[in-house]
Amino acid sequence: MKKIATVLGARPQFIKAAVLSRIIAEREEFQEVIIHTGQHFDDNMSEIFFRELGIPPAAYNLDVNRVGHGAMTGKMMECLEPVLESEKPDLVLVYGDTNSTLAGALVARKMGIPVAHVEAGLRSGNMKMPEEINRIVTDRISNILFCPTEQAVKNLEEEGFGAFDIRMVQSGDIMKDSVAFFKDRMGSRRDLNEKYGLEGEKFVLATIHRQENVNDPSQLAAIFRGLDEISRKTGVVMPLHPRTKAAMKEFGIKTGVLLIDPVGYGAMQQLLHFCEMVVTDSGGLQKEAYFHKKPCLVVRPQTEWVELIEHGLAVLTTANKGQLLGAFQEMRNRRLDFNQNLYGRQIGKTIYDEICLFLELNSI
């Protein structure tokens, strides 16, 4: 039986991996070995997703966290190498654009193990984002690139990937499969109100965690001023990322926004289902908002999910209070069409079948 090693480390990766892990388990053609780098170490940010999404327990937890980008990536590589030497997988599967993604791809290719990258070809154009560096390098050294959109394929072609010995597949976005899997498990609005003490018919779901927003005290304070202004018109609920919580404490930032502990995947889907709008700097949540047919304010100068901007389903905004409030009002008044198929169908099956084909063609 062939073996696939899946390297995971952060919330969006757990969600994406759950789809493919279920297919791998059902088909019984591969043995999957899950390696958790430990990048998300808080239980609400990590283990709860394994339990809730039905991901098989990680065979390894490298427990690498709480250090800077360089140290984290280097330590992950140091820990991954002996694991891959011992397991001898036929293919290493990585997701997204985190340090875990880059570390897994680098170690595997240096050891001569093929790499499949799910969510390849995305570009924000902002090289100050660590994620942009991770995704560019991972794409270049992978063997199979699963691109969620036509634009992602175009990005790779414009960078000359057509001349490389790399297979590019426009597979669609695997997170769409995950949202569909949980669509009948949303619970009721009454349950949500009682759980979080919500009042009124409408609320905005907000998440802020990226270092460019969180590490700058003036930037973070401006974001909360904008959210506080929005909260005067409707409720705002924010599952508070540990990084954001620590920064708010350090910078003495107070807010009238309803702050709740980080939530599991099911609870986040419930919040998305019942909210009026999403305000976020998360790449994954932008798409989940689309899948739930909710407009999204993206608190970033660029986004890799350009389709959402082009179709008017999301808008870029700055931390400025006036701009945040203006974008909120604009999206409230905008007529939106969520019935466009931007991210494919049966994505998990497409990815699985392409992996089988790759291994067969390469006699692995």
Report how far residue 265's alpha carbon sits from residue 12's, in angstroms, rounded to the nearest whole number: 10
Q: Lowest mean pLDDT of 68-77, 189-198, 259-268, name the range.
A: 189-198
Could you list the residue range(s) of the whole structural domain that residue 14 is in?
A: 2-173+344-361
The residues near 244 (Cβ < 8 Å, ≥ 6 apart) are: 208, 209, 214, 220
Q: How many CB atoms are located within 10 Å of the residue 161 CB?
A: 17
For range 212-224, the mean pLDDT = 94
Q: Are 162 and 311 contained in the same domain?
A: no
Number of compact structural domains in the chain: 2
Q: Are 163 and 260 contained in the same domain?
A: no
pLDDT at position 43: 52
Q: How large a percentage of the chain has pLDDT more than 90?
A: 75
Name the average pLDDT for the chain. 92
The pair of three-digit structure tokens given for residue 303, joined into one six-digit string? 């986004």
Q: Are 206 and 144 contained in the same domain?
A: no
8 A C-beta contact, residue 115 and residue 92: yes
The pair of three-digit structure tokens given for residue 302, joined into one six-digit string? 């660029």
Q: Are 357 and 303 contained in the same domain?
A: no
Say if 164 falls within a structural domain. yes
20-69 pLDDT tens trace: 999 999 999 999 999 999 886 665 555 666 777 778 889 999 999 888 88
Q: Are 323 and 353 contained in the same domain?
A: no
Say if 79 falls within a structural domain. yes
Q: Are 269 and 193 contained in the same domain?
A: yes
Say if 178 falls within a structural domain. no
Q: Are 65 and 206 contained in the same domain?
A: no
Say if 271 falls within a structural domain. yes
Q: Are 324 and 209 contained in the same domain?
A: yes
Q: Are 281 and 220 contained in the same domain?
A: yes
pLDDT at position 278: 98
Say if 142 falls within a structural domain. yes
Say if 184 falls within a structural domain. no
Strand partners, 3: 31
Q: Are 143 and 219 contained in the same domain?
A: no
Say if 339 falls within a structural domain. no
Residue 209 has phi, psi (to 5 degrees) of: -150, -15
In the residue annotation, 241 being an active-site residue is answered as: no
Q: Are 221 and 294 contained in the same domain?
A: yes
For range 207-213, the mean pLDDT = 92
Q: Lowest mean pLDDT of 119-123, 186-190, 257-261, 265-269, name the range.
A: 186-190
Q: Radius of gyration (Cα) for the chain, nearest Å?
A: 20
For range 112-138, the mean pLDDT = 95
pLDDT at 151 over 80: yes
**Identity at 353, one-letter amino acid code:** D
pLDDT at position 65: 86
pLDDT at position 320: 86
Among the listed residues 40, 117, 209, 273, the single catalytic one is 209
How far, rounded to the nearest angstrom, does the alpha carbon of residue 297 sit from its chain's CA centroid?
Answer: 16
Residue 259's alpha-carbon distances to 85, 220, 294, in angstroms, are 44, 15, 21
**Domain containing 161 — which CATH number?**
3.40.50.2000
pTM of the model: 0.84
Say if 246 falls within a structural domain. yes
For range 236-242, the mean pLDDT = 94
Q: Are 91 and 125 contained in the same domain?
A: yes
pLDDT at position 42: 60
